[in-house]
Amino acid sequence: MDFKAFKMDGLGNDFVIIDQRNKIIELSEEQILKVCDRNFIGCDQLIYITKSDLGDAELEFYNSDGSTSGACGNGTRCVAYLLSKEKNKTEIDLVVSSKKLKSRILDEQLVETIIGVPKTNWDQIPISKSLDTKNLGLEIKDKNNIILKGGVGVNVGNPHVVFFVNDIGEFELEKIGPELENHELFPDKCNVTLAKKIANNYYKVKVWERGAGLTKACGTA
């Protein structure tokens, strides 16, 4: 077969990457589920590399539940690293959801990807109705059943709802995540993030990823 496939890891996120630039390999949803299954190959996401006239390549992402994903920073960095070796250059442009993302190779296995300016308008996230995206009025409970109300909506390639908390460990994200991921407010589902401020411009986060759940990269804090 005239195609290449790779297994890669970026900060704990692992991926199966299929290069379709020379030969199209279309997998069914059932086949994607099998590839992502930890009892088979296993990965958080499957990535297709395809040809692009706008950059070095274009990427398509599929979550471990078979659904599509708009973007993934760690996955983009992994592909950028692969293509940097192939093309022998330190800057790689990858098209993701019709948006060009620039990656730079800073050192051996150290890659920076610029994901662009976050979107905060309600219809860009998207949410199902016009609301103040700085406070969506959603409720989560900690382990003592104390309610925290709020939630900030933002899109950084995927829709997210973010809750700023004093202690991430006081919340069971494995229970909160699936409920909010599938909340009626999010027509495309969403990632659910708990964030604790450590210092100015420095936050500790734990994320329930849409279509993948808790991962080693984002699901620990």
Residues assigned a catalytic role: 72, 218
- Residue 210: is it exposed, middle or buried by C-beta count within 10 angstroms (0-12/13-18/19+)? buried
Q: Please name the residues in contact with 160: beta carbons below 8 A apart, sequence gap of 6 or more.
A: 125, 153, 154, 190, 191, 192, 193, 207
| Terminal Cα distance for the chain, rounded | 42
